[in-house]
Amino acid sequence: MEEAFTAALRHNGQLVTDYLLDYFKKTDITPDYLREGVNFYVRKGGKRLRPAVVFWACELAGGDAATALPAAAAIELMHTGTLVHDDIIDRDYMRRGGPSMHAHFQDHFKTQIALNLLQHFSNSIAMLVGDIQYSLAIAMMNDLPLSVDRQVVQWLIHNLSAHWVPEVMSGETLDVQYAWQSLAEVDEAMILAMLNKKTASTFALAGKTGALIGLNKLDLEHPMVTQLEELCRNAGLAFQLQDDILGIIGDQDELGKPVGSDIREGKKTILVTHAYNKATPTQRQILENILGKSDATGAEIKQAEQLLVDLGGVDYVRGLADKYIKLAQTALAALPDHPVKRYFKDWIDFMINRSC
Amino acid sequence: MEEAFTAALRHNGQLVTDYLLDYFKKTDITPDYLREGVNFYVRKGGKRLRPAVVFWACELAGGDAATALPAAAAIELMHTGTLVHDDIIDRDYMRRGGPSMHAHFQDHFKTQIALNLLQHFSNSIAMLVGDIQYSLAIAMMNDLPLSVDRQVVQWLIHNLSAHWVPEVMSGETLDVQYAWQSLAEVDEAMILAMLNKKTASTFALAGKTGALIGLNKLDLEHPMVTQLEELCRNAGLAFQLQDDILGIIGDQDELGKPVGSDIREGKKTILVTHAYNKATPTQRQILENILGKSDATGAEIKQAEQLLVDLGGVDYVRGLADKYIKLAQTALAALPDHPVKRYFKDWIDFMINRSC
């Protein structure tokens, strides 16, 4: 990864973190542990791949990146809210190298609450944390400076609340549904449609939002808007496909979450469906037995992982991710020359050349 | 209850229901069961006490009630979202005479999903339903007609997302926290502060929202705004206190939810803390044993209920509710004459003279 890109990512990420923590300070949230919960994932950092795009898209479209800060923060916070709720849904106990939100509450209250109530209480408070984060993210858009066209601001607020949230929740629902459906019921097209809603939509939103603020007029058909949305949507799809690969062959320490959880949850990724389609009846039996087995042993996880690799699942999804990365690169090439394009180039590369 | 009031409540309620169901139709939500989930509580009806206030406050402040429809619907939908999430948190399986949201999903999927996954899946989808409802409620405010001052619209959206949501979630958190705390740790002032955040805030918001739309200018200090907010906040507190009374001595069939659930959850109401303070050490022991005992028998529930009545808890809370109703009536008396005031008078009465 290029040095300048890493530095820019870190710089923009810090702006977003500072903005969010300051915003939370100005919001009345009690008791303290609920307020701390709202801060929790934000303090942990993260790659901040989405807000970075908002800044750069704004510049590329002719704006001053600084004006886009509230929108960049809003999109990061929306994403954070989805992580909090997803982690409850997926029963993930780790996130960014530490406890997930509900796991944190379990730890925090373990000496005060009876064991039979602890898990439910922790999930409940984590749910309320996510509720607040979604809501504050929408509110934040209103903080865009007065120099930003009011029609743009209103559209951003409306789009986030009327379209983006239902779309992402639809994607999340399908993801959870596929997990309990049998391998034979779920195919690649269904998964791609789900990934578009659940993951790519947020990256697409980031590109579109930055472009509209940079243009400073509500021109949704402007090539800058459509091209940046296209670029980010495709890179976002590649990002999720890479995520699915890391869920099988990634390094637990680098990822900050346990390897094998995708298998124990029975997640239906394209990697899995592709391998399943190539498998012999005996191999299918093995996959069906282990995928979704919440108490699968380490040996079983290893066996399933090996099978998914041997059946070409990883190679296939890597090829698919490359295809979407190329589409993103084509969209980038069509955009006018600008110094910020090199960040986009590195960003696109990073979306798949990452180990965490 | 006066005939004209009931008819007005029903008429306004129908407007809100129609508006909401139409709004959902225009929103892209998949799969079908998620979309149906978003519609579910809205279709069940309900008293629609909050949107009615938005309409009447708008008229009282000089506006045309019809202009306030999207705001009335938004507040009803926000309230609906809190019910969906609350029912998960409180593990309530009944709502408005039928299954609660997550109970509905359990029923819907019982033949398709393995039993060990069914409850978690149902809770997860119900959580996502609430997420969509909160978000669409904010979006809906943007649907206010162009005749409504844009500063008012922006303030309503911002207030809902930046203040109301964190306030209600703070109240909800405290309510859940008090449930696992011991009776000795929770006092009346703490509970009143919690009820203000959790319940009265939505009624206050309804009054304020209607008044601002009726005035059609952003004048937050206008007596019409402050008086209507005051009226609704106090009536809202009385409403919740009456709710706590019905939770102990109400009729299960009329309420549409099982009596005894407040006791099994260990809800810390003022009724309970007052009784506890008056109790002998032996009586305290009995209360401590039964309150929060999730598998309490019918006989134990009856014993606790009787004790709460005998120790004066019900009478005390009834007196407290009367105090808040009088404050609401005083606020109403200070408002200028208007035909719609008789609806407010009946509405205030209904907030405590109700059996469900």
Task: Give the integer Cα–Cα distance in Å for B197 and B204.
Answer: 10
What per-residue confidence (pLDDT) applies to A265?
Answer: 87
B209 pLDDT more than 80: yes
Mutation choice for A interface testing from B26, B29, B124 by most A CBs within 10 A:
B124
Give the model confidence (pLDDT) of A46-71 as tens digits: 899 999 999 999 999 999 999 999 99
Per the model's pLDDT, the better-predicted residue between B196 and B3 turns out to be: B196
Task: Give the integer Cα–Cα distance in Å for A96 and B183.
Answer: 38
Contacts of B177 in chain A (CB under 8 A): 31
Nearest-neighbour CA in chain A from B113: distance (Å): 7
What per-residue confidence (pLDDT) applies to A301?
Answer: 94
Token reading at B187: 């006092």
Closest residue in B to A176 (Cα) is: B121
Residues 6+ apart with CB under 8 A from A299: none
B300 pLDDT more than 80: yes
Averaged pLDDT, A123-130: 98
Phi-psi region of A97 (alpha: psi -120 to 50; beta: other; left: phi over 0): left
Give chain B's domains with CATH numbers.
3-352 (1.10.600.10)
- Contact assignment for B124 to A31 by CB distance below 8 Å: no
Contacts of A166 in chain B (CB under 8 A): 27-29, 132, 135-136
Residues 6+ apart with CB under 8 A from B87: B93, B95, B100, B101, B102, B103, B126
Task: Give the integer Cα–Cα distance in Å for A335 and A348.
Answer: 14
Contacts of A174 in chain B (CB under 8 A): 30-31
A1 pLDDT more than 80: no
Mutation choice for A interface testing from B131, B174, B194, B293 by most A CBs within 10 A:
B131
Nearest-neighbour CA in chain A from B106: distance (Å): 13
- Contact assignment for B125 to A173 by CB distance below 8 Å: yes
The amino acid sitting at B98 is G
Contacts of A172 in chain B (CB under 8 A): 128
Residue of B112, B162, B169 lying closest to A128 (CB–CB): B169
Per the model's pLDDT, the better-predicted residue between A232 and B92 turns out to be: A232
pTM above 0.90, yes or no: yes
What per-residue confidence (pLDDT) applies to B265?
Answer: 87
Closest residue in A to B193 (Cα) is: A30
Buried b (16+ CB within 10 A) or exposed e, B138-152: bbbbbbbeeebbeeb
What per-residue confidence (pLDDT) applies to A320?
Answer: 98
Q: Which residue has the tokens 């045309």?
A: B64
**Taking Cα atoms as reference points, which of A307, A299, A351 lies closest to residue A329?**
A351
* Angle at A99 (CA atoms; ends A95, A104), nearest 5 degrees: 135
Give the model confidence (pLDDT) of A166-195 as tens digits: 999 999 999 999 999 999 999 999 999 999
- Cα A237 vs. chain centroid, distance in angstroms? 10
Say if residues A278 and A317 touch (Cβ distance below 8 Å): no
